[in-house]
Structures are given as C-alpha cells and as structure tokens.
Amino acid sequence: MLAPRLSQQIQFILEIDKLKLVLRQTLLTDGSRQENSAEHSWHLAVMAIALSEYAATPIHVNRAIFMVLLHDLVEIDAGDTFCYDAQANQNKAEREAEAADRLFGLLPADQSREFRAIWEEFETGETADAQFAKALDCLQPLLHNWQTQGGTWRIHQVQRSQVLRRMQAVKVALPALWGMVEQIIDEAVELGYLRSQDLE
C-alpha cells in the first residue's frame, strides 16, 4: 500500500503520460509527422535554458522551465487549440480551466496549489518569467514552420499579418531575437511558405 500522498503523486504522474497522445498542428522539423504536446513542452524547456541570455529583463530560468513543462498539461482534457483557429479559441480558456481543476486536483493539496499557480502565471502572462515562457511558446512553432517549408502555415493558408501578431510575444520578451523573427517571416513570404498581406 502506498502512502496517500505518494499515491496521489503517482496517479498524477501516470495521468500526464496522456500528453504524449495529444497531437499538435506543428510538424517535426523533418516534416515526418506532427509533434505531440509532450515533445513540444520538452523542447521549450531546453529552449528556456539555451535562450535565457536573450531575455529582455532578468528571469528565473527554473521557474520558466516549470511553466513550459506544465503549460500544456491541460490539453490532456481540452485538446490542442490551433493558435490561428479563431472559433476554437473562443472557449479555450473555459475548457482549459476545467482541465486544470481536474488534473492539478489529482495532486496533494500543497502541490495542487503550487502547480495551478504556476500554470495560471503562464496563462496571465504578466510576470517577466511568464512573458519569456510565452515568447518561447510562439518562437518554437515559427522555427518548425520555417524548417518544414511552411508546414502548417501552408496547410491552413496562414497570412503574414497573423504570424506577426502572434510573434509580438517575442518582440516583448526576447527583443534581441526580433530581427531574426522578421527575417524568417519575410523570407517565408518570398519563398511562398506564408501568404503575404496582399492576399487578405
């Protein structure tokens, strides 16, 4: 028999394995398949370490890592919502809040409060750590779409203006990388990976 606290923790650990089953729109960089949300979260955690020096203001890297590892757990229940799908995004917050109630509620009360607070900090995006984490969450798919010759941009006929709006998080939290982002977007339009604003 496991102690009650450990039993709750193990139940949570087993439950979050389901994140590996949640497919995102983003393709792997070799274009072979869609990435899953667990792979995405891992990628962001490594990015947080590698790119922390470019943060606009000092951040707590470990806290940002904590955020990116937790931020998509709610997709186990709520599913992945494509950032350019206006209709699906209308009730995203409600679906994800319900999922957070259930998933973090599996943990012992103290950890449940801690994990939920970290998740909410990411969602509100008001702290420097959260803004940095959110910027990474936007930057990673941009890099994947660039590497896959337009990837999901082409599939969904995404426009330059939509990507620029999405990338504002990078401009705020990682301004040193903004020039790279603009260059990628401009080249993507030139190469036909991304629709230009002229087609709106």
Confidence of residue 87 (pLDDT cuts 50, 70, 90): confident
pLDDT of 50 > 80? The answer is yes
Integer Cα distance of 200 and 197 in angstroms: 5
Classify residue 28 as left (phi > 0), alpha (psi -120 to 50) or beta.
Answer: beta
DSSP letters spanning 119-180:
HHHHHHT-SHHHHHHHHHHHHHHHHHHHHTTTHHHHHTT-BHHHHHHHTHHHHHH-GGGHHH
Give pLDDT, residue 199: 45
Give pLDDT, residue 92: 87
Give pLDDT, residue 60: 98
pLDDT tens digits for range 96-143: 999 999 999 999 999 999 999 999 999 999 999 999 999 999 999 999
Instruction: Tell me what the pLDDT averaged over the chain comes to.
Output: 95
Confidence of residue 84 (pLDDT cuts 50, 70, 90): confident
| Mean pLDDT value of segment 171-177 | 98
The token duo for 95 is 């679906």
Classify residue 31 as left (phi > 0), alpha (psi -120 to 50) or beta.
Answer: left
Q: Cα angle vertex 25, ends 171, 128, to 5°?
A: 30
Give pLDDT, residue 66: 98
Global pTM reads: 0.94
